[in-house]
Structure 1
Amino acid sequence: MALRDLSGAVDFSVLERMTGGDDAITEEVLGLFFQQAGLWSPMLDVREDGWRDAVHTIRGAAAGIGAGTLAAVCQTAEAAEKAAAPPLLERVRDALGIALADVAAYRHEMMLRSLRG
């Protein structure tokens, strides 16, 4: 993966402004996003008591890295009644997967840049 693989799901300029362009901080933030996604995504199911907390946490993390579509989908799911939430949670999972692919491509490009010196 490399920058050419980006879907546009994440506006990395948001993250770069937040981190001041510091690659080490950017990598740390993206690593935390990846970890949080792994921790919270199993709870994206209305059968889980904390599904709304999971959506809320992912929404905040998404906004912080510039994943605006993911944050918006999360906001909609978070506000939904439990009975209406399953298809919305599916949209969250889909948007999260796309954002994670962009994050992986971006991190890969950062790693390649660091190897080039």
Structure 2
Amino acid sequence: MALRDVTGAVDFGHLEAYTLNDTVVMEEVLRIFQQQCELWTPLLSADHPGWRDAAHTIKGAAAGVGAGILAAAAELAERGDDEGAEMRLERVRSALNAAQMDVAAYLHELQLRSLKG
């Protein structure tokens, strides 16, 4: 995976500006994002009573790294009624997968840069 694999699901320019291009901070923020996704993804099912909390948390984590599509999908899921929740949560899961792929590619690039010195 390389930077060329980034799809645009995450606006890394947002993250770079937010962290003042500090690669250590960027990596830490992205790792926290990955942890949040890992913790909350299992709750992204309308059958789970905590799905709204999961959508809310993912919305905030996504906004922090510049994953605007994911943040918007999570907000729609969180605010919607119970009917249609599974369809909205599927959109969240799809956007989450795309964001995670972009994050993995970006983290890989950061690691390559650190090896080059």
Question: Normalization by structure 2: what TM-score?
Answer: 0.98
Query: Where do 5+ consecutive residues of structure 2 fail to align?
Result: none
Partner of 1:9: 9
Deviant stretches of 4+, over 3 Å: none
Q: Secondary structure at the match of 1:48?
A: coil
| Root mean square deviation of aligned Cα | 0.6
**Alignment partner, residue 86 of structure 2:** 86
Number of equivalent positions: 117
- TM-score, normalised with respect to structure 1: 0.98
Distance 2:46 2:94 in 1: 16
Stretches of structure 1 that go unaligned for 5 or more consecutive residues are none
Aligned partner of 2:37 in structure 1 is: 37
- Structure 1 match to 2:100: 100
TM superposition shift of 1:12: 0.4
Kindly provide the CA deviation profile for residues 29-67 of structure 1, in whole angstroms up to 9, marking residues without a partner as x. Answer: 000000000000000011111100000000011011000
Task: For 1:50-89, list aligned pairs within 5 A.
Answer: 50-89=50-89
Does structure 1 residue 19 correspond to structure 2 residue 19?
yes
